[in-house]
Amino acid sequence: MGNADVKRIKILEAATRRFAHFGMAKTTMSEIAKDLNFSKALLYYYFPDKNSLYSAVFEYVIDKMIEEIETVIDKGGNFEEIMMYSIDMRVKAINQYYNLFEYTMKMVKELPDELEQVFKESYLREVEIIEKILKIGIDAQEIQVDDLNETARILLYSLFGMRMGILKDMKNMLFPTKEEFDHILSLQKKMMKIFLNGLRYQQR
Amino acid sequence: MGNADVKRIKILEAATRRFAHFGMAKTTMSEIAKDLNFSKALLYYYFPDKNSLYSAVFEYVIDKMIEEIETVIDKGGNFEEIMMYSIDMRVKAINQYYNLFEYTMKMVKELPDELEQVFKESYLREVEIIEKILKIGIDAQEIQVDDLNETARILLYSLFGMRMGILKDMKNMLFPTKEEFDHILSLQKKMMKIFLNGLRYQQR
DNA sequence: ATATTGACTTTAGTTTTCAAAAATTCAAAA
DNA sequence: TTTTGAATTTTTGAAAACTAAAGTCAATAT
């Protein structure tokens, strides 16, 4: 790995820390530069603008998450376990990098096209990975699904609903506590159990 | 019904039309008054303030919706049919009075306590009615549920997720089209089918 | 006494301005 | 080719000025 790449990654990591903690709006390029003792202009040498940097961080985090899930998939095992594990990963990531997901949480309009694009892609990747896990259950003849893509989307939207539903209930929408995350996770798992049960082969 | 009540209802109806069309923010008390050829001060004779009027309208609409669903419940029949019918009603109401639900849709913080209160109550009533329908399935030994309230909430959150998930996909979040509503309804029904299937008795 | 109003006051929301902060560029140096 | 300090442009946010809408009330009509 060349020296250039090393710096690029250092920037990515410092940016990740800042963005995850304070979000896009409350992080400045100067701060990231200062964290690294780089000049601000150097950041612009590696990343054309702040949006690109943010996008890169976002993708980086999603990549890591997807990778972790892929590992579990490759390890094999019961598809329901894999699915449960995958939502553990999702919630863990969202918890850990909470403010990176602020735009996904709140319903913000008028995002820069570039970010819009990145979010859409990450959504598609999430759908894909759910499809992949469902596919395992289908191949094992444990579940039956007629429209794989649609089913995956319904599942993802439902998980999303647990998040929103709970966060809406409380004042403190700014930063959910550990307990709130646990509650979301718990509801998501219960929902998932019922949902997968509803797809089981025998009962059609 | 006294003359006073008649005027109160006239105000409620005019306000419903305005709020449903333009939402709370883009409706003024003067406009409602003008629609009726009443003076603005008269509105304040019947309703202490704008929030109260809005709340009254909101409750009025929810009441009507719940009533419709109750009618279907009382008519009896298969619990799954009733459930499907109830989401038809929900989507129909949201479609018809869309801007009345703007606060329920968007994730607005800092609402006046009074509205907060009314929304919370309407949420509780929605949960209640879902519980009631599930109960029919339980009593008919078609489904098995261990925590009725939690299950109802999970179901409601999931339905909510369909709405959000789809609306997020498109630019035009301001006012969904007929097609978009139909799509939401379709996904909600598919989701519901799988979910209820997942609760069926035999497979535990 | 109850219902109704026009005119008035208060409040909330919008627009404007402007300085500070942050993003972005660039010519020069390492 | 990488790095920077300084310059430039853009964005943001607070304060002031303004406007529209909410809300009040004393007087009037029924």
Q: Lowest-pLDDT range, A149-153, B40-44, B65-69, B167-171?
A: B167-171
pLDDT tens for B138-154 read 999 999 999 999 999 99
Q: Is there a single domain that holds both residue A97 and residue A125?
A: yes
CATH assignment at residue A28? 1.10.10.60
Average pLDDT, integer, range B64-82: 95
Residue-wise burial string across A47-58, b where 16 or more C-beta atoms lie within 10 A, e elsewhere? beebbebbbbbb
Query: Which residues in range 88-147 of chain A are in contact with strand C, contact meaning CB within 7 A of any of its atoms?
Result: none
Q: Is there a single domain that holds both residue B15 and residue B40?
A: yes
pLDDT at B1 over 70: no
Query: Which residues in range 33-62 of chain A are in contact with strand C, contact meaning CB within 7 A of any of its atoms?
Result: 40-41, 44, 48-51
Structure confidence at residue A84 as a pLDDT band (50, 70, 90): very high
Structure confidence at residue B204 as a pLDDT band (50, 70, 90): very low
Q: Is there a single domain that holds both residue A88 and residue A137?
A: yes
Average pLDDT, integer, range B185-193: 97
Quote the CA–CA distance of A55 and A100 in Å, as a whole number.
10
Which of these, A45, A40, A63, A195, lies nearest to A133 by C-alpha position?
A195
CA dihedral B8, B10, B12, B17 (to 10 degrees): -170
Q: Is there a single domain that holds both residue A67 and residue A81?
A: yes
pLDDT at B203 over 80: no
Average pLDDT, integer, range A38-64: 97
pLDDT at A165 over 50: yes
Q: Is there a single domain that holds both residue B193 and residue B178?
A: yes
pLDDT at B106 over 80: no
Q: Is there a single domain that holds both residue A147 and residue A55?
A: yes
Q: Is there a single domain that holds both residue A38 and residue A64?
A: no
Quote the CA–CA distance of A204 and A202 in Å, as a whole number.
6
Q: Is there a single domain that holds both residue B80 and residue B172?
A: yes
pLDDT at A184 over 50: yes
Phi, psi of B121 (to 5 degrees): -60, -40
Q: Lowest-pLDDT range, A25-39, A112-126, A173-187, B85-99?
A: A173-187
CA dihedral A178, A183, A189, A194 (to 10 degrees): -170
Q: Which residues of B touch A (CB under 8 A)?
A: 105-107, 109, 150-151, 153-154, 156-162, 164-168, 171, 173, 187, 190-191, 193-200, 202-203
Pick from B31, B47, B63: which residue ends a domain? B47
Q: Is there a single domain that holds both residue B29 and residue B87?
A: no
Structural domain that includes position A29: 1-47
Q: Is there a single domain that holds both residue A30 and residue A88?
A: no
DSSP state string for chain A: --HHHHHHHHHHHHHHHHHHHHTTTT--HHHHHHHHT--HHHHHHHSSSHHHHHHHHHHHHHHHHHHHHHHHHHH---HHHHHHHHHHHHHHHHHHTGGGGHHHHTT--S--HHHHHHHHHHHHHHHHHHHHHHHHHHHTTSB--S-HHHHHHHHHHHHHHHHHHHHHHSS--SS--HHHHHHHHHHHHHHHHHHHHHHBGGG-
The encoded tokens of residue A155 equal 């599942």
Q: Is there a single domain that holds both residue A99 and residue A199?
A: yes
Identity of the residue numbered A53: L
Number of domains observed in the structure of chain B? 2
* CB–CB contact A166 B159 (8 Å): no
Q: How many residues does chain A have?
A: 204
In this prediction, residue A204 carries a pLDDT of 43
pLDDT at B172 over 90: no
Q: Is there a single domain that holds both residue A17 and residue A106?
A: no
Residue-wise burial string across B110-124, b where 16 or more C-beta atoms lie within 10 A, e elsewhere? eeeeebeebbeebbe
CATH assignment at residue A160? 1.10.357.10
Average pLDDT, integer, range B43-52: 97
Average pLDDT of the residues of chain B:
92
Pick from A105, A162, A198: CB nearest B195: A198
Quote the CA–CA distance of A141 and A118 in Å, as a whole number.
35
Which of these, A123, B99, B65, B20, lies nearest to B73 by C-alpha position?
B65
Residues of chain A in contact with residue B164, where contact means CB-CB under 8 angstroms, are 107, 157, 160-161, 164
Contact A181, A91 (CB under 8 A): yes
pLDDT tens for B108-165 read 667 888 999 999 999 999 999 999 999 999 999 999 999 999 999 999 999 999 988 8
Backbone CA torsion sign across A36, A37, A39, A42: negative
Pick from A47, A62, A82: which residue ends a domain? A47
Structure confidence at residue A170 as a pLDDT band (50, 70, 90): low
Contact B72, B82 (CB under 8 A): yes
Which residue's entry shows tokens 């920037």?
A11
Min Cα–Cα distance to chain A from B57, Å: 22
CA angle A27, A29, A34 (to 5 degrees): 100
Is the C-beta of residue A21 closer than 7 Å to nucleic acid chain C? no
In this prediction, residue B165 carries a pLDDT of 82
